[in-house]
Structures are given as structure tokens and as C-alpha cells.
Structure 1
Amino acid sequence: MQTVQGMTELEYAFLFTLRKVNSIKLEGFKPFFNNLPVDPYIKGNYRSRRLSRFTVVGDKLVKLPHGYFYQSKDYNPLMGDIKREFAELDDALIELDIFKSLVFAFTDSCKLHPEAEIGVHQIRISCSPENMGNPAPEGIHSDGTDFIGIFSVNRHNILGGETRLYTAKKEKPIFSKILNPGELLLVNDHEFFHYAAPIKPEIPEQGTWDVFVLTSPSLLSN
């Protein structure tokens, strides 16, 4: 198996995998998506977001000091080289057993080393009859991290939003699927570019797509 410099074969144990996390009762997450602050870094006010970083110590989830989110333009041509600051996740959300189960599902599936740093983005993409929602305004991209987890919480009155994986930006996707609520897609960020297609309402009312995106490392800096 080819390995990436600085990574062990264990850390490089998968390319991508899709799993259903049956232990998570999604209803417990839904109230926490109704008060997300609007992402001020993109035009249109259709994306709302919170972000915190954690580590796992034994069987406990430990929140780390907050920081700013940073990617270079090599990975994010739209928002790269900008220190982005987002509100932290709600403390009541972090205390939920289902939230801990989600983070543990990510760390266990990726076989992260002890005390690895994990970023958790809580994101809502909205759309209306007048405006589509664009989950990935930067286009087909990689994040500049090691592992990514995309967990679908809820899809309300939307069409589209397929998650796609590519081995090269100008090739056809090797994976394309609408992630159903409760499904967790795990991706080796060194091997694939990813993208999520725009969403539009199924009937002429507002629609929303709620997801958690987990990364390790977190890409947060002090």
C-alpha cells in the first residue's frame, strides 16, 4: 500500500467508506440547527455554521481552546489565506451522548491516534424558490487535512445535494450519492477531491440541509 509521508499504514487504512450510524437518534440534534449564526464569509446568507475542536482522551471527549479556521488558497481558492472565525458549538449539544457517539464513530473508523485533534463543523445550507443553496461554493476541492467525515442529520424539502468524490478535478466522480440522514461518509483527504451539489426546494417553500463535517487535523489555529 502506498503511504503518504508522515502517515503510518494504520492511519492510511482506508480511502473512503460509507456507514450508517444506527446508535445516533437524529431528533436530538435537530433543535441545535435552528440557531446557527450565518456564515459571514460567503455571499447570499444561505450557509450557517458553528465550529469547535476536540480530542478524545480515553472514553471522554475534551473540547480544546477555540481558534480561527485557516486554509491556504491551494486548497480553498475562494476563502483561502483568510483567518475565518466562527462561533463555537453549543455546550448543550456537546454534552449529548449522540454527539459523543458521532465523534467516536469518526475517530474509530479513521483509526485516529490517541489525542488526535478533531474539528467539528455544524452546518446548515438553506434554499428558497428564489435562491439555490450551494454547499461547496469553492467547487471541487480537498480540505488540506488527513481525514474528513460528512454526517447527514436532516434533509427538509430539498432536491439535490449529492456528495461526490473525485480522483482528479477534471474527471468524472468515482462516487456520487445523496447522503441520507444518519449516514456518515469517511474520506481520506489525501486521495480524493470532494464536492456537494447545490440544493433547491422540492416544493416552493424554504428547504434546509443539516450536516456535521468532521476533520482531523482540525485546521484550527490559536
Structure 2
Amino acid sequence: MQKVWEATELEYAFLFTVRKVNSINLEGFKPFFNDMPIDPYIKGNYRSRRLSRFTVAEDKLIKLPHGHLFQSKNYNPLLGDIKREFAELDDALIELDIFKNLVLAFTDSCKLHPEAEIGVHQIRTTCSPDNLGNPAPEGIHQDGTDFIGIFSVARDNIIGGETHLYTAKKEKPIFNKILHPGELLLVNDHEFYHFTTPIKPEMPAPGTRDVFVLTSPSLLIE
């Protein structure tokens, strides 16, 4: 049931697709996931997060001023109507060519307007033999943006973490897949709800799931 964008360039032209981003060497991202601040807005200390926002001008990234993540309770019943603040992405990460390639893969695939604002969420979800990690504690949801990209960087000693898409909250998923490192899922947020299942260790040791989530608009406010 996967459908790639139509030939027309009308807004919201595609529904969802998965692509492999071959221009990115994932090893370059991995060190930047080892020093991540804990997300203070969810219980359990199992998620770490950074967040920055950008625009693209002539294949160059322009970093925008620091902002606060804000979603309505209509979209995020767990943390809606709260201004959330996260540390910015590491400057050394932003300077990498592979980071620019990732953002351009998102903007080009979604055919974003040149002045579109893009939020880049860097997220690590952890689990242990005693605790699951929950990539989507808000449950089946929409983000309240136009386009979403979920890019898998690494899966270390985990099972689970399967991403689902739904046409309605109470329907069965029309898409379900574990995103393997290097895969980018692009979703029209107006058309689908999404969810990612909890993770647990494959072997009796800690496990991690590292992703970048890109959104446009960014969902950030001053």
C-alpha cells in the first residue's frame, strides 16, 4: 500500500515512502549519540534528546535561533500545551557533510519550499534487562506538522522498535517495519498517524536505538 509522491508538485503530494540514503556514512554520526542530555519531560530516564532548527539556502544549512518545542494536546496528549526546551545539536555534528546530506535528503524528497523551516530531533532510546525503552510514550499520534522523516542511525542489542503507520487511531496499521540503519521513512503527517513499538534487549545487557527525526514545519517557537 506504499505510495510515492505523484508527478504533480502540489503541496502534500506524497503519502509515505522508505528510501535508503546511500550518501551517508553512519559511523560519523555514532559518537554524537554518546553524550546526550536526558529528556526531562518523560519518566524513566530512558530517552536522550537534542533539537535544532534550520532552513536550507542553495544547498547550505542555515541554523536558526534557539526555540522551544510546542505541540497542542490535540496531537500530543502526554506532553501537549507545554513549551519544552532541549539542548541544541552539537556544532561539530552540524558541520559534517553527512548531516547536511541527511537534511537535504529530507527536503529534496518532500519537495519543501526553499524557505521551509526544518526541525531536527536527535534521539536515543535506551533499554535494559529490567526496563523497556518506549520511543513513542504518547502512543499512536500525529505530530501536527506537514512532513516527518525518521532516519535510523543505529540499533544496538535490541529487538522491537518497529514503526507503524495508521490511517486512523483505532484501525490496524497499514505499514509496519523496523527501520534499519541508513533507512529514511518519509511521512505526510496530515494523512497518517504513527507509532514505534517499545524496545527490549536482545541479550542481557543495555540496548540503544538512535534516530534523527526531521519535521517541517519545525514545531519550534521562540
Alignment TM class, shorter chain as reference: over 0.9
Distance of 1:95 and 1:11 partners within structure 2: 30
What's the CA shift string for 1:17-60, capped at 9, x where partnerless? 00000010000000000001000000000000000000001121
Query: Pairwise mapping of residues 162-201 of structure 1 onto structure 2 (< 5 A)?
Result: 162-201=162-201
Superposed displacement of residue 133, structure 1:
0.1
1:84 match: 84
Task: Indicate yes or no: 2:135 matched with 1:135.
Answer: yes
Distance of 1:61 and 1:115 partners within structure 2: 11
Q: What one-letter code is carried by the residue in structure 1 that aligns with 2:143?
A: D
List structure 1 segments (4+ residues) > 3 angstroms apart after TM superposition: none
Distance of 2:132 and 2:221 partners within structure 1: 32
CA contact 1:18–1:185 (8 Å) conserved in 2:
yes
Q: Which runs of 5+ in 2 are unaligned?
A: 1-7
Distance of 2:30 and 2:173 partners within structure 1: 31
RMSD: 0.8
Count of residue correspondences: 215
Q: What one-letter code is carried by the residue in structure 1 that aligns with 2:82?
A: I
1:61 match: 61
1:3 match: none
Superposed displacement of residue 10, structure 1:
2.5
| SS class of match (1:19) | strand
CA contact 2:146–2:216 (8 Å) conserved in 1:
yes
CA contact 1:167–1:193 (8 Å) conserved in 2:
yes
Report the TM-score, using the length of structure 2 for normalisation: 0.96
Report the TM-score, using the length of structure 1 for normalisation: 0.96
Distance of 2:180 and 2:10 partners within structure 1: 29
Q: What one-letter code is carried by the residue in structure 2 that aligns with 1:149?
A: G
Superposed displacement of residue 11, structure 1:
2.4
Distance of 1:83 and 1:69 partners within structure 2: 6
1:106 match: 106
Q: What one-letter code is carried by the residue in structure 1 that aligns with 2:48?
A: S
Q: Which runs of 5+ in 1 are unaligned?
A: 1-7
